[in-house]
Amino acid sequence: MSDTAGTGTVKTGLPRKNINEVVSAGIRRRYAAERRFRAYGLAAIGFAIFALTTLLVTIVGTGYSAFTQTMLELEITLYPQDIDPEGNRDPKVLSTANYQALVRQSLRDLFPEVTTRQERRRLNGLVSDGATFQVRRAVLDDPSIIGQRISILVPMSDDIDQFMKGHISAEVPESDRRVSDQEIAWLERLQDRNLVHRTFNWTFFTSGDSREPELAGIWGALVGSLLTMSVTLALAFPLAVATAIYLEEFAPKNRWTDLIEVNINNLAAVPSIVFGLLGLAVFLNFFGLPRSAPLVGGMVLALMTLPTIIIAARASIKAVPPWIREAALGLGASRMQVVFQHTLPLAMPGILTGTIIGMAQALGETAPLLMIGMIAFIVDIPQGVTDPATVLPVQVFLWSDAPERAFVERTSAAIMVLLSFLIVMNAFAIYLRKRFERRW
């Protein structure tokens, strides 16, 4: 019971009035600081949005034209004596027939005045080599058309395609341009006859890689990516979740587990190319696994993704409130039951989110795959995890290096496909988080 009780003396040295003045002087400064800070934040976000928009606009601007392809409508007479001299429709015979000659003949029919060999070669160059395959496929699909005169859309060569899309300008002197004046003249005549069409570029989505840009597609790389990701997921997810559960729920907390934790965190920061070197040394050279295979790629990427998933899984297991465990333990559940009936289901959305982000990271990874030979030029669509394959980002890398003008737009288009996959994966991660997020 001190005497001062209730008298309410201010114990600072300043009288009240002064305090008010000092405080109000400071308030303006504090608000100014806050406004400045907000402005910095806005500026940062603005810059980020600007950079992102620039990137997207550039990519989409360059890449969108790759989704169309200039096609030439050719009238081809399928003479039975050329294709199937014996008339028994044997597919072997059908596939070895000289379709190229048919295509060329058809072109010559369009321009009868072209006679010199040089000019003929140029004329033949208007359409892609793919035209031959197209005619052959049409015949193999339906041998009954032999003997008829069919009208077929064949891709034009990449230079003509680029010219039609306006990427090659007619203003440039002829010597500097990849399309000659004569070719332009032919093209105009074809256009007059309404034989040149622009169609959706299915080839881009259904073919493997090719030296000819108009025949190159991303399907091979996409399948390669999917196979690689499957291997990565199958390896990394169970391993990472098991590790996280063990470390969080069972391992004693001592120097050893601390060391392991530090190392896992460090692994997450190791440059990815180092994992590629490891894959090269261990999987290829030591175990003798096939080069360029999604199996090895997946294993390397799994190694790279493991720490990410482990860290995410540990964090979300840690985030499961301890009283859930206590409640279950208090009812007599064993630790196994606690983990698998309570902790893990509750942590799963977080783990899945982490996994998807890890997988997205792996999907975009190139460097380690270069080391194990997934950079090879592969035309065939891989059929299994041991077939040689390449992946989307590597395909982008390869195309960006190619000299042909037409690969520029295809590079951007491939980037767009890759980005859309990443966006879909991240969106799925967000969905999972929102869907299963629990409030305690």
Partner 1 sequence: MQLANSENAAKDGVGMPEKTGNLTTESKAGRTPMVVARDVDVFYGDKQALFGIDMDILPNEVTALIGPSGCGKSTFLRCLNRMNDVIEGCRVEGRISVDGQDIFDRALDVVHLRARVGMVFQKPNPFPKSVFDNVAYGPKIHGLSSSKDELEEIVMTSLEKAGLIEEVKDRLHQPGTGLSGGQQQRLCIARAIAIQPEVILMDEPCSALDPIATAKIEELIDELRENYTIVIVTHNMQQAARVSQRTAFFHLGKLLEFGDTDQIFTNPSVERTRDYITGRFG
List interacting residues with partner 1 (CB under 8 A).
Answer: 252-253, 321, 323-334, 337, 341-342, 346, 438-440
Of 17 and 253, CB closest to partner 1: 253
The residue (of 310 and 328) whose beta carbon lies closer to partner 1 is: 328
Kindly state the smallest distance separating residue 334's Cβ from partner 1, in Å: 6
Q: Mapping DSSP to helix (H, G, I), strand (E, B) and coil, where does residue 84 land?
A: coil
Is-contact 100 162, C-beta < 8 A? no
Based on CB atoms, which residue is closest to partner 1, 332 or 403? 332
In the complex, least distance from residue 340 CB atom to partner 1, rounded to whole angstroms: 11
Sorted by sequence, the CB contacts under 8 Å of residue 436 that are 6+ apart come out as: 348, 349
Nearest approach in angstroms of CB 438 to partner 1 is 5
Sheet holding 149-155, edge to edge: 149-155, 68-77, 196-200
Pair of tokens at residue 195: 């034989």
User: Judged by CB, which is closer to partner 1: 229, or 338?
Assistant: 338
In whole angstroms, how close is the CB of 210 to partner 1 at the nearest point?
A: 54
Least separation in angstroms between residue 314's CB and partner 1 is 17
What sign has the CA pseudo-torsion 356, 361, 364, 365?
negative
Closest CA to 372 of 265, 297, 267: 297
The torsion region of residue 6 among left (phi > 0), alpha (psi -120 to 50) and beta comes to: left
Query: 28 vs 253, which CB is nearer to partner 1?
Result: 253
Q: How far is the CB of 265 from partner 1 (least distance, A)?
A: 21
- Separation in Å, CA 368 to CA 248, 296, 328, 375: 30, 10, 44, 10
Q: At what angle do helices 99-110 and 130-141 cross, to 10 degrees?
A: 110
d(CA 161, CA 197): 10
Smaller CB distance to partner 1: residue 30 or 335?
335
DSSP 417-428: HHHHHHHHHHHH
Taking the C-alpha atoms of residue 247 and residue 236, their distance in angstroms, rounded to an integer, is 16
Token pair belonging to 411: 């590079």
The vertex-169 CA angle with 166 and 170, nearest 5°, equals 120
Q: Are 360 and 301 in contact (CB under 8 A)?
A: no
Tally the residues of the chain. Answer: 440
Quick one: 89 or 325, whose CB is closer to partner 1? Answer: 325
Give the nearest distance from C-beta 341 to partner 1 in angstroms: 8
Nearer to partner 1, 352 or 396 (CB): 352
Bridge partner residues of 99 (DSSP): none
Closer by beta carbon to partner 1, 269 or else 331? 331
**Based on CB atoms, which residue is closest to partner 1, 47 or 323?**
323
Integer Cα distance of 64 and 69 in angstroms: 11
Tracing tokens 């504090």 back to the chain, one arrives at: 30
**Shortest distance (Å) from residue 343 CB to partner 1:** 11
Range list of H helices, 174-254: 181-192, 202-206, 219-245
Q: Tell the smallest beta-carbon distance from residue 255 to partner 1 (Å).
A: 14
Residues linked to residue 198 through DSSP beta bridges, in sequence order: 70
Q: Residue 266 Cβ, how far from partner 1 at the closest point, in Å?
A: 25
Q: What span, in angstroms and rounded, lies between the C-alpha atoms of 440 and 32?
A: 38
- Which C-beta is closer to partner 1: that of 199 or that of 334? 334
| Pick 293 or 347: Cβ nearer partner 1 | 347
The β-bridge partners of 150 are: 76
- Smallest distance, Å, CB 52 to partner 1? 37
Rounded Cα gap, residues 283 and 228, in angstroms:
15
Amino acid letter, 411: T
User: Minimal distance in Å, beta carbon 249 to partner 1?
Assistant: 10
